[in-house]
A and B are shown apart, each in its own frame.
Chain A
Amino acid sequence: MAGAAPRRNRTVVPDPRPPLARAGADSRFTRTVLTLIACGFLGLFVALPIVSVFTEALHDGLGPYFEAIKTPDSVAALKLTLLTAGVSVPLNLIFGVAASWLIARYRFPGKSALTTLIDLPFSVSPVISGLVFVLLLGARGLLGPWLEEHDIHIVFAVPGIILATTFVTFPFVAREVLPVMQEVGADEEEAALTLGASGWQILFRVTIPKIRWGLLYGVVLCNARAMGEFGAVSVVSGHIRGQTNTLPLHVEILYNEYNMAAAFAVASLLTLLALATLGAKKLVEARQHAEPVTRGH
């Protein structure tokens, strides 16, 4: 029998759907055309730019690639980016948990206004997010003279970069955690309370484990934006090489110097961060499906 053509299975597999569903489905032609359009669109506008980042970065080979990443300016930019994210993400994490606890658990006047205000930084242009700190804390700003007197430098220095980043990433954790907090309900917390747990014990032993996947996703998104923010940071940084340059700003400087391979090498680090962020998103979604949350009422 070896080599013989496999017998074609001629039994028609019955379509499990009711006849009407088949009548309403798209024809094979429509399906193919639409799928090609969708995939072509995503391929051309999203996948191709990613591929080009890595191709341009490795244009001169692996040696120059690592050289570009290891220059003192690149390392300083990486360190500042990590520091910025290391401060602003935990700040927004604490805020996100506090705000979503407040909004999900209690009713009080002004609650919906508060919810809208939390989203406010999303609708502000990154450039304006930087500008407001220059106008408030810069040399000619409202508090500028006072800061000058006390020799405190915020704008065109690291604290300004951290402040602007915190502003831009402000809503991320709260946004992801709030719906989860509302969905899981407060039954376990109330049970813990009647069993004599203190407020902090409830928070760390009951609430945070319950919302951990939403929390993790919020932190991942917040971190991606914190490390990648360009406009706001560009306005407040003052572009001092090796001092107030984050990775995205360093990409700009290298690019404007026509040092393309180096610019794309540094950009490839940020692209890897973005790909890791998407991977984490998929992972969190898979986890959420694996252990469905207990629905509150």
Chain B
Amino acid sequence: MAAVTSASGGAAPARGRPGHPLARRRRGFATGILPGFGLSLGYTVAYLSLIVLIPLGGLAVKSAGLTAGEFLAAVASPRALAAYRLTFLAALAAGVANVVFGIIVAWVLVRYRFPGRAVFDALVDLPFALPTAVAGIALTALYADNGWVGRWLAKVDIHVAYSPAGVSLAMLFVGLPFVVRTVEPILLDLDPQVEEAAATLGASRRQTMARVILPVLLPPALTGFALAFARGLGEYGSIVFISGNMPMKTEIVPLLIVTKLEQYDYAGATAIALVMLLASFGLLFLINTLQAFLNRRGAR
């Protein structure tokens, strides 16, 4: 054993890992033998700072310049509260609908083979690729009272366009891919033997679904929900066309920020933007925690 505990410090360490004779050893660093560490680190940090961190920091600096009174007046005005309420509830409703239908779509795409499956699979990604303004005018044209869908709904006195339901519809569209694409890989990895075991133990198909499959799908569906929800909260392009933008009724938070900006109320826009930004960072933290939890379960 004495020979092993030599300068290289361990039995045949992998290249690029600390302990290898070729590894540059500094505390916490393992930069291996490949060149470019300094260049890629410098470039990445500089570009990240220039494009993302400094502009976001500017928002923080600007909001630090607000007095508490200014801040509260903007953030807690009745119009702002109505906008938070609408945005939050519409995103919640869209997220819940996306979880229900997203799980069904993922299940059908993974488990069944039917003609046109590839087309439907491609359709799932379309909301990611379609510019939001296009989605907005297309949905409005469809769901307005004279549209292809809207005219049928108008007969039973349901009006989607220019109402809170329209806000939710647009959020449903932009958030549609998230649940499907987070549930799909988990479903693909699900061992059929688990279902077979449940069947041999006397479980009915319904029991297997409720007690074996759904519990596995719930965590990824929750991640997908959080992603779709976060996307819905920030969504602007598709909603401004379909919502009608009436203050207190169908005005979403991002629109309120734009309105304040157009009225040169920079303080108000900054304050509300800060509230939204903190909400999305909170969600991001939640999503990352969920993902880490899922990865740990997956690694087991």
Write the residues of chain A forming the contact surface with B, with a CB cutoff of 8 angstroms. 18, 20-21, 23-24, 26-27, 30-31, 34-35, 37-39, 41-42, 44-50, 52-53, 56, 91, 94-95, 98-99, 101-102, 105-109, 114, 116-121, 123-128, 131-136, 140-142, 163, 166-167, 170, 186, 189-190, 193, 198-199, 202-203, 221, 224, 227-231, 234-235, 247-249, 251-252, 255, 260, 263-264, 267, 270-271, 273-275, 277-278, 281-282
Q: Which residues of B contact A255 (CB under 8 A)?
A: 137, 241
**What's the Cα separation between A231 and B205 when bound, in Å?**
47
Query: Does B92 touch A at the CB level, under 8 Å?
Result: no
Interface of B, helix, strand, loop or mixed by DSSP: helix
Cβ contact within 8 Å between B127 and A24: no
Nearest chain-B residue to A18 (Cβ)? Answer: B196
Query: Does B188 touch A at the CB level, under 8 Å?
Result: no
Can you list 18 A-B pairs with a CB-CB distance of less than 8 A?
A20-B196, A23-B196, A24-B198, A31-B112, A35-B112, A38-B101, A41-B105, A44-B149, A98-B47, A105-B37, A106-B32, A107-B28, A114-B45, A121-B52, A127-B258, A132-B56, A142-B62, A267-B131
**What's the Cα separation between A229 and B274 when bound, in Å?**
22
Cβ contact within 8 Å between B58 and A136: yes
Cβ contact within 8 Å between B61 and A142: yes
Cβ contact within 8 Å between A127 and B199: no
Q: Which residues of B contact A166 (CB under 8 A)?
A: 51
Q: Which of A18, A228, A264 has the most CB of B within 10 A?
A: A228
| Further contacts, 8 of them, CB under 8 A, given A108-B37, A123-B283 | A34-B107, A39-B108, A98-B43, A101-B36, A131-B257, A190-B34, A231-B254, A278-B125
Cβ contact within 8 Å between A120 and B134: no
**What's the Cα separation between A42 and B290 when bound, in Å?**
27
**What's the Cα separation between A119 and B280 when bound, in Å?**
12
Cβ contact within 8 Å between A102 and B148: no
Nearest chain-B residue to A103 (Cβ)? Answer: B44
Q: How far is the CB of A294 from chain B (nearest CB, A)?
A: 16
**What's the Cα separation between A221 and B173 when bound, in Å?**
18
Query: Does B297 touch A at the CB level, under 8 Å?
Result: no
**What's the Cα separation between A155 and B38 when bound, in Å?**
33
Query: Does B182 touch A at the CB level, under 8 Å?
Result: no
Query: Does B124 touch A at the CB level, under 8 Å?
Result: yes
Query: Does B218 touch A at the CB level, under 8 Å?
Result: no
Cβ contact within 8 Å between B266 and A140: yes
**What's the Cα separation between A42 and B122 when bound, in Å?**
10
Nearest chain-B residue to A106 (Cβ)? Answer: B31
Cβ contact within 8 Å between A38 and B108: yes
**What's the Cα separation between A224 and B148 when bound, in Å?**
28
Q: How does the 8 Å CB contact mask read for B118-140 relative to A, with 1 for contact and 0 for none? A: 10101111111111111101110
